């Protein structure tokens, strides 16, 4: 398992990596050919970032340091795009954060 592109990002969204953000997160991950994984701890366990079932199962609340890693075609871009999405609070406004 060499040549991973890796990054960590702090989840600042009010309720964490919840339903709607997970939809966005996995949809974005699926746009890349690279294998992409997430974890809530540096030593794993790692979850498939393209599976909403797995991403939701990570149950990452606000304040979680999310670990993202990828390998294969476009791995670097994939990690960067996903980090950006988390940093932008999944493009959700405060209104939406209360519900869903």
Q: Does residue 99 touch another protein according to CB under 8 A?
A: yes
Pick from 15, 77, 80, 81 the residue near another protein by CB under 8 A.
15
Instruction: Give the strands of the sheet with 47-48, arranged side by side.
Output: 5-10, 65-71, 35-39, 47-48
Q: Does residue 65 touch another protein according to CB under 8 A?
A: no
Give strand ranges (E) for the chain: 5-10, 35-39, 47-48, 65-71
Nearest to 7 by CA among 29, 35, 39: 39
Q: Does residue 19 touch another protein according to CB under 8 A?
A: yes
Catalytic residue check, 96: no
Which residues sit at the interface with another protein, rule CB under 8 A?
Answer: 15-16, 18-20, 22-23, 26-27, 48, 51-54, 56-57, 59, 61, 96, 99-100
């Amino acid at each position: 398992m060499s040549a991973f592109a890796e990054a960590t990002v702090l989840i600042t969204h009010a309720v964490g990596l919840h339903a709607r953000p997970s939809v966005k997160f996995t949809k974005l991950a699926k746009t890349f050919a690279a294998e992409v994984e997430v974890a809530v701890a540096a030593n794993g366990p790692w979850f498939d970032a393209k599976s909403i079932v797995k991403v939701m199962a990570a149950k990452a609340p606000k304040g979680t340091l999310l670990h993202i890693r990828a390998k294969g075609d476009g791995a670097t871009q994939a990690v960067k795009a996903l980090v950006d999405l988390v940093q932008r609070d999944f493009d959700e406004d405060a209104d939406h954060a209360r519900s869903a």
